[in-house]
Structure 1
Amino acid sequence: MTKAGDLYGQSLYDLAAEENLTDDILGEMEAVKGIFKENPDYVALLSEPSVPKNERLQLVDESLGSSLTPYHLNFIKILIEKGLLREYSACYKRFRKSYNEAHKIAEAVVTTAVALSDTQLLQLKEKLEKISGKTVLLEQKTDPDILGGVRVDLEGQLFDGSIKGRLSELRRKVDETVI
């Protein structure tokens, strides 16, 4: 994350927590992040210094004003005024991290060669919640290169039970023995 993204994202989180709006603003940020990702030209327009600042702020009011809390709308306007709108994603990440810490939520990415069933995902989620002592938000990815098994990244801690991971470990041990 960038320094600006960290600073601004944490500031918005602190304000949202004071006003008891963390759930609302988190949901809004996820939606706005999606809008910005799907419409990079819109972000470019809002960041373009040749377009007068008041016109860019009016565009935000017209397009997002009715669907955002005033705090979040003003936050976006501040980013535009400071020329930092491209840091919005980093602000979201910092906000999300603070939200997760406050609500004892852990994010995990599970990677398998083929998609897991809903039952398997639920069982894995329950196991990870026991390990972490937190509520787990599980994101599933598929990667045929891991051949089989499961690889889980839980808040930066890697649990590699994939065939590819086991083969790599075996190869490393053989190399150490031979050398």
Structure 2
Amino acid sequence: MAMAGRIRSTLPLLNKILRSDSISTHGSIIRPTLLSPQISKNYATAPTKKEDKVKVPLVLFGGSGNYASALYLAAVKSNSLDKVESEILDLVESLKKSPTFSQFAKDLSVPADTRVKAVKEISTQAKFSDVTKNFLVLLAENGRLRFIDTIAKRFAELTMAHKGEVKAIVTTVIPLPPQEEKELKETLQEILGQGKKVQLEQKIDPSILGGITVEFDKKVFDLSIKTRAQQMERFLREPVQLGNL
């Protein structure tokens, strides 16, 4: 009860900060981890005038971003974005549940033709779309199956942007009560305005000691007790300026 009370006492301050005109001054950009592999030209197709109009909603960097962007473009052009997203997420979940499958994807000693054959069989059994199947074959050929989890996350960023969705990650010591979660979501929705939809994701992290942190739209709002304690410690360690007394 005491912990829940501390969270509730923090929310009004957080809501005030989020609604303030100086919201941008509280944020810090979260930069993605970059990978180096390049996308094979075999996955690209000759663009038509109609296809030239298809663009990625976000600019992603690094190898994982390049692969995710290529998959996004192929899915949009084939009008199968939702199906491809579902298939990729299902594959990632299967990897997590199957140590054998996961080890196979990460093992670079497995010959490329063996990886390709296995991926084709899996895609056929799972009834994956041609876009997903061809993409997985590309990863298998290039030895990039081990990055499928990272690529899937970057791909999800693109699909969310395509749908006008913004993920907000809320971190607390205990789960946020339903009413407080509703109020926070409404505040974020008000800030983002029309045309975008907030997707709230809660994370539990006892190390923050209390309070709350919120990450959304490349901004971080840290009202955790841990951060406050660190700030106080730095303040106390600073030498006293006698001339200012």
Superposition TM-score, scaled by structure 2 size: 0.64
120, 133, 156: which one aligns with 1:61: 120
Cα RMSD over matched residues? 2.4
Q: Are 2:200 and 1:129 aligned?
A: no
Name the structure 1 match of 2:83: 24
Letter in 2 for 1:144: P
Residue pair 2:106, 2:145 contacting (<8 A) in 1 also: yes
CA distance in 1, matches of 2:108, 2:216: 41
CA distance in 2, matches of 1:104, 1:151: 23
Residue in 1 that maps onto 2:228 = 166
- Counterpart contact for 1:109–1:154, Cα < 8 Å: yes
Structure 2 gaps, min length 5: 1-33, 36-61
Greater helix fraction, Structure 1 or Structure 2: 1
Secondary structure at 2:231 match in 1 = helix
The separation in 2 between residues aligned to 1:86 and 1:152, in whole angstroms, is: 30
Is residue 81 of structure 1 aligned with residue 144 of structure 2?
no
The alpha-carbon deviation at position 22 of structure 1 amounts to: 1.6
Structure showing greater radius of gyration is: 2
C-alpha displacement at 1:177, in angstroms? 6.4
SS at match of 1:178: coil
Alignment deviations for residues 48-87 of structure 1 (CA, whole Å, 9 cap, x no partner): 5665544433322333323321110110011101111112
Amino acid across the alignment from 1:24 = K
Amino acid of the structure 2 residue aligned with 1:61: K
Whole-Å Cα distance in 1 between the matches of residues 226 and 171 of structure 2? 12
Q: Whole-Å Cα distance in 2 between the matches of residues 25 and 86 of structure 1?
A: 19
Q: Which has the higher contact order (CA 8 A, sep 6+)?
A: 2
Instruction: Single out whichever of 4-13 and 118-127 deviates more from structure 2.
Output: 118-127
Change (3 A) 1:83 1:144: closer
